[in-house]
Amino acid sequence: MIDWNLFSTPAPLINMAARAFARLGDRQLKGMGFGVGHLPVLYLLRDGAAMPQKELARFAKVEQPSMAQTLARMERDGLVRRVPDPNDGRSSLVSLTAEALAKTPAVREILRQGSEQALAGFSQDEVATLCALLQRLNRNLDLMAVEE
């Protein structure tokens, strides 16, 4: 029988932590013009790279319509630009604007500080173990999604 105690099974605890990180991240990044939903795009394009929307959605593990909405908001806010993809006339390549690229170091610092605060009291070994466990969990979840 499955234990339905909210605080003794990983899934609800991970969900609570993810939601708390998202709320805090949105609050911390708002002044920079970013939100937590922008982070996969910011991360993937952080070095001036350009990618098609389809690839961004795949790497961010979101559906195409969700990525399209995120990119439309980011484009409206001057954070990304689109240019025609020379290899696919039906597609465009998305990249960060100079303004967004210039903000990237500050965003990284905000995220680093938030992570440091959230992991206060954790040893380096505990953080490494937590990361390894979450990476393995995400690989398992990816495999489950493929099997659907």
Indicate whether 48 belongs to any domain: yes
State the pTM of this model: 0.83
Indicate whether 148 belongs to any domain: no
Residue 45 pLDDT? 96
Q: Residue 63 sits in which domain range?
A: 25-114
Indicate whether 132 belongs to any domain: no
Residue 146's pLDDT band (cuts 50, 70, 90): confident
Indicate whether 130 belongs to any domain: no
Indicate whether 16 belongs to any domain: no
With 90 as the cut, is the pLDDT of residue 9 above it?
no
Measured between alpha carbons, how far is residue 17 from residues 7, 59, 82, 99 in Å? Answer: 12, 22, 34, 31
The total domain count for the chain is 1
Q: What is the pLDDT of residues 45-81, one digit of tens each?
A: 999 999 999 999 999 999 999 999 999 999 999 999 9
Instruction: Tell me which long-range contacts 3-9 makes (C-beta under 8 A, separation of at least 24).
Output: none
Instruction: Please enumerate in sequence order all residues whose Cβ is within 8 A of that of 144, keeping only pairs 6 or more positions apart, or say none.
Output: none
What average pLDDT score do residues 115-134 get?
96
Tokens 């100079």 found at: 98
Residue 3 pLDDT? 61
Residue 87 pLDDT? 86
Residue 5's pLDDT band (cuts 50, 70, 90): confident
The CATH number for 30's domain is 1.10.10.10
Residues 97 and 107 sit within 8 Å (Cβ to Cβ):
no
With 70 as the cut, is the pLDDT of residue 1 above it?
no
With 90 as the cut, is the pLDDT of residue 139 above it?
yes
Residues 41 and 80 sit within 8 Å (Cβ to Cβ):
yes
